[in-house]
Amino acid sequence: MKTSNIATKGSSSASISFGAIFDAPQYRERLIALEARVADPNFWSNQEAAQGVLRERKRAEEQIAADEKLTSISGDIETYIHLVQEETNVEQKNDLLKELDRELNSARRDRSPQRHHDH
């Protein structure tokens, strides 16, 4: 699913979803639980289980980082849109539109999901 909901003027947030649904609070809670397991003195008593926990922790960290990046990019795009709407100078407006285009292209490049190789 490729959708984009850019916040409109006056709204307080923007969200972008490029083929995945990020539930950052869920991943943050899961990361806290995984960190507690890693901190357990008996964590390494089962090497196979420990490796699984570490892989899961890495995935949670990657999901959180991806959510933070998308939030940042969407905020930047929202700012550009607002500036373009407010700008009266044609040259400045065109420059802002070029910057917005670069930002959107960057978001498109970054949207491809990371591949996990857990072997």
Per-residue pLDDT of the chain (119 residues; tens, 9 = 90+): 333 444 433 433 434 444 345 577 899 999 999 999 999 999 999 999 999 999 999 999 999 998 888 888 888 888 888 888 888 888 988 888 888 888 788 777 766 555 444 44
Q: Is the dihedral of CA 51, 56, 60, 65 positive or negative?
A: positive
CATH number at residue 7: 1.20.58
Domain, as residue range, for 68: 2-12+19-110
Total count of domains within the chain:
1
Residue 8 lies in a domain: yes
Q: What is the dihedral of CA 20, 24, 28, 31, to 10 degrees?
A: 10
Flag whether 30 is in a domain: yes
Tell me the pTM: 0.60
